[in-house]
Amino acid sequence: MDSKKTVLVSGGAGYIGTHTTVALIEAGYDVVVIDNFSNSEASALDGVEKIVGRKVVFGEIDTCDIKALRGVFERHAFDTVIHFAAYKAVGESMDEPLKYYQNNLVSYMNVLEMMKEFKRPNVLFSSSATVYGNAEELPVTEESPRQPATSPYGNTKQIAEDILRDCCAAYEGFRGIALRYFNPIGAHPSALIGELPSGVPNNLVPFITQTAAGIRQSLSIFGNDYNTPDGTCLRDYIDINDLARAHVAAVDRMTDGRMQTRYEIFNVGTGRPVSVLELVTRFEKANGLKLPYRFAERRSGDVPAVWADTARANKELGWKAERDLDDTLRSAWEWEKHIRHIQ
Ligand code: UDP
């Protein structure tokens, strides 16, 4: 890239934020990270700095605090924001809906408000495959219908997509891309950054790695009586580094003026369904260990199967998932060993 552009990354100390920050810097972008460490740690940014070999511009800012956010816009000239900052625990969102609507929507609207006020054009929003719900046709394309959300968390993703669409339609110069993530897993190959779940992990791969580390006794596989080849759920597990590169491709597209409409949506997955049981077996083989697991009841709210049609992202973003699943599963274990000081 000839002239470096700057990207504001909210929630940049989180799992997806750290990997994306690395990918952006490696692609030649300057990055300003903001985070309030509500579900992340400052040490995550140390990992980013070690990987890229330089300091990262950072502000401890809560995006719900519009005054503090305005200060960031006054101090830094960027055209693009990637908005990751959000709560993400589906179960908790059912118990505390207001906490989720308040945090996830207020922070997001503050960011949009500032983009408008400071005439900064490009917004990249982290959406989720959860918007497809229990899809009738698989794989899902971006045109597949969204299903009514089954949790406040999922609902914030749908509402936020709609808000972005409406802003792009209404405000001159506003451009938006929503990336619908499938199941991001794994860690940076350096094992210097990765996922840091607090408490008992909800997600499959952190639960697997914590079980392998002896922190959890046994993995429960939720349901083996689904109408799928081995009875366990099918998901589209996407390597976190591939996912991070999709953000770079989307930012490139926005800043190079290649968008065909002012609001675009892309699926970010591999296009390959993998069952829970297969993932467990692959994890064991890739890392040469045995994982204690048992079959348990279905988890409420889980859909039997969802995976991505990635044709649009492949063609329009010029991006595709590349990393081998076994390498990804090795990276997940390397990261767990790193944070637990296991040899
Ligand atoms: N899963 C499981 N045991 C766990 C956690 C998850 O069997 O301890 C299953 C879950 O039922 C789903 C898949 O793993 O079929 C992926 O779940 P995750 O929570 O990682 O992502 P989701 O697809 O729900 O967003």
* pLDDT tens-digit readout, 287-329: 999 999 999 999 998 999 999 999 999 999 999 999 999 999 9
Residue 205 and residue 332 in contact, taking contact as beta carbons nearer than 8 Å: yes
Regarding whether 229 and 153 lie in a shared domain, the answer is no
* Distances, alpha carbon 256 to alpha carbons 176, 248, 282, 320, in Å: 13, 12, 40, 19
Asked whether the predicted pLDDT for residue 265 surpasses 50, the reply is: yes
Q: Give nearest CA residue, ligand 1 atom 20.
A: 203
β-pairing verdict for 234-235 and 274-275: antiparallel
pLDDT tens, residue by residue, 135-161: 999 999 999 999 999 999 999 999 999
Regarding whether 289 and 142 lie in a shared domain, the answer is no
Regarding whether 100 and 11 lie in a shared domain, the answer is yes
pLDDT tens, residue by residue, 31-66: 999 999 999 999 999 999 999 999 999 999 999 999
Regarding whether 155 and 105 lie in a shared domain, the answer is yes
Mean pLDDT over 111-127 rounds to 98
Regarding whether 306 and 259 lie in a shared domain, the answer is no
Regarding whether 225 and 97 lie in a shared domain, the answer is no
Mean pLDDT over 206-221 rounds to 98
Regarding whether 157 and 131 lie in a shared domain, the answer is yes
Q: Which domain holds residue 57?
A: 3-185+237-268
Q: What is the pLDDT of residue 257?
A: 92
Residue 259 and residue 251 in contact, taking contact as beta carbons nearer than 8 Å: no
Regarding whether 13 and 127 lie in a shared domain, the answer is yes
In a domain, 191, yes or no: no
CATH number, domain with residue 314 = 3.90.25.10
Question: Domain boundary at 268, 288, 322, which?
Answer: 268
Torsion of the alpha carbons at 122, 195, 132 and 153, rounded to the nearest 10: -80
In a domain, 192, yes or no: no
Which two structure tokens, joined as six digits, stand for 96? 């505390």
Regarding whether 254 and 176 lie in a shared domain, the answer is yes
In a domain, 194, yes or no: no
In a domain, 12, yes or no: yes
Provide the 3-class DSSP secondary structure of residue 195. coil
Name the pLDDT band for 3 (thresholds 50, 70, 90): low
Q: Is the CB of 233 under 6 A from ligand 1?
A: yes
Return d(Cα 235, Cα 233) in angstroms, integer: 7
Residue 103 and residue 36 in contact, taking contact as beta carbons nearer than 8 Å: no
Of 127, 180, 219, 222, best ligand 1 pocket probe by most atoms within 8 Å of the beta carbon: 222
Regarding whether 179 and 292 lie in a shared domain, the answer is no
Catalytic, out of 132, 153, 226, 263 = 153
Mean residue pLDDT across the chain: 97
Return d(Cα 306, Cα 275) in angstroms, integer: 10
Q: Give nearest CA residue, ligand 1 atom 21.
A: 203
Structural domain total, the chain: 2
Regarding whether 171 and 25 lie in a shared domain, the answer is yes
Q: Is the CB of 299 under 6 A from ligand 1?
A: yes
Rg (CA), the chain: 19
Name the pLDDT band for 21 (thresholds 50, 70, 90): very high
Regarding whether 171 and 103 lie in a shared domain, the answer is yes
Q: Is the CB of 8 under 6 A from ligand 1?
A: no
Percent with pLDDT over 70 in the chain: 99
Q: Is the CB of 276 under 6 A from ligand 1?
A: yes
Return d(Cα 194, Cα 191) in angstroms, integer: 7
Name the pLDDT band for 2 (thresholds 50, 70, 90): very low
Name the pLDDT band for 82 (thresholds 50, 70, 90): very high
Residue 253 and residue 304 in contact, taking contact as beta carbons nearer than 8 Å: no
Residue 153 bears catalytic tag: yes
Asked whether the predicted pLDDT for residue 1 surpasses 60, the reply is: no
Percent with pLDDT over 90 in the chain: 98
pTM reported for the whole predicted model? 0.98
